[in-house]
Amino acid sequence: MYEDKTLVCKVCNQEFTFTAGEQEFYAEKGLVNEPKTCKACRDAKKANGRANRELFTAVCANCGGEAKLPFEPSNDRPVYCSKCYAEMKEQQGE
């Protein structure tokens, strides 16, 4: 049903392929607009956004380990390290 399409990146003006598999994925997710940028430019934008993010350090309320957070924690709520947070989310899903 889908065929590969050649598109032009609005950032670097290079051609890139919008594959049939990618088109199917977009359709499954309800996305109607084609990508405007190539994967390399999307990845560079994501990496740039992460590089500028300030991380805050706190003590995990569960294990006492180090928790790195993208926000400054307040003392009125507990914070958890990535491992403990994932375990808690998994337990809530059951």
At residue 70, the pLDDT reads 85
At residue 94, the pLDDT reads 60
Quote the pTM value: 0.52
At residue 75, the pLDDT reads 81
At residue 33, the pLDDT reads 96
DSSP state of 72: P
Boundaries of every domain in the chain:
5-51, 56-93
Span 1-59, pLDDT tens digits: 899 999 999 999 999 999 999 999 999 999 999 999 999 999 998 887 666 678 899 99
Q: Which residue has the tokens 């065929």?
A: 3
Residues 6 or more apart whose CB falls under 8 angstroms from that of 7 comprise: 15, 16, 17, 18, 34, 35
Span 59-72, pLDDT tens digits: 999 999 999 888 88
